[in-house]
Structure 1
Amino acid sequence: MRAAIGTAMTRGAAALALAAALAGCGSNGGWGGRYEVHGVDEGDMLKLRGGPGTGFDVIVGLPNGTVLRVYDCTQTGGTRWCEAALERAPETKGYVSWAYLREL
């Protein structure tokens, strides 16, 4: 009985952790949360793409520190892609990898 309770508690904790991680990226009533590009290697840029995957055209390269509004995220293959717009130029929209974003 104790083993079953422990397993259920572990699964519940894992589900809560996953939900908390996924909650960081989502729709905010039509207005996105503020994130910045972070963790891109020096001399490189995060690619803002025309769709959620590396097969889509690159719209622009974003250096570390670029502020984005993130609206929605989706898992494609092994990468989580987020629909985003540049905060200073909101008409510039596309998709970026979640791995290189941190919430402000």
Structure 2
Amino acid sequence: MRITLCAAAAAMALTGCGRDGDVNLLPGLGQFEVVGVEDDDMLKMRAGPGTGFVTVLGLPNGTIVNVESCQPMGNTRWCAVTLGGINGHVSAAYLQER
């Protein structure tokens, strides 16, 4: 029984089970470029994963951010990102791997 429990715990650790719903929804984490934003607009970096959170910063196309993790929230995939020491969340729909 003990071996079975240890094997199950190891399998969960390897598959990411139990990580509070944190799911890698992009090909790889690391540096990504902001793309697809209208010319007269900016991608909103928010304080949390959702439109109900305050905007921290506006990011124009071409901005490079470091993606820490991504998770689904409703119909949108939100990624935790950093830019120059500023932390926030952006929609994965506007990120392209570098």
TM-score range, shorter chain: 0.7 to 0.9
Per-residue Cα deviation, 1:38-95 (whole angstroms, up to 9, x for no partner):
0001100000000000000000100000000001000000000000001xx1x10100
Root-mean-square deviation over aligned CA pairs = 1.4
Report what 2:52 is aligned to. 55
Using the size of structure 2 for normalisation, the TM-score is 0.72
Runs of 4+ in 1 over 3 A off after TM superposition: none
Using the size of structure 1 for normalisation, the TM-score is 0.68
Q: Decide whether aligned partners of structure 1 residues 23 and 49 sit closer, same or farther in structure 2, where only a CA change above 3 A counts.
A: closer
Report what 1:40 is aligned to. 37
Q: By percentage of residues, which structure has more helix?
A: 1
Report what 2:89 is aligned to. 95
| C-alpha distance in structure 2 between counterparts of 1:93 and 1:34, whole Å | 14
Which one-letter code corresponds to 1:103 in the other structure? E
Q: Return 5+ residue gaps in structure 2 as ranges.
A: 1-23
Query: How many residues of Structure 1 are paired with residues of Structure 2 in the alignment?
Result: 75
| C-alpha distance in structure 2 between counterparts of 1:53 and 1:40, whole Å | 17
Q: Percent identity at matched positions? A: 51
| C-alpha distance in structure 1 between counterparts of 2:28 and 2:50, whole Å | 17
| C-alpha distance in structure 2 between counterparts of 1:24 and 1:62, whole Å | 21
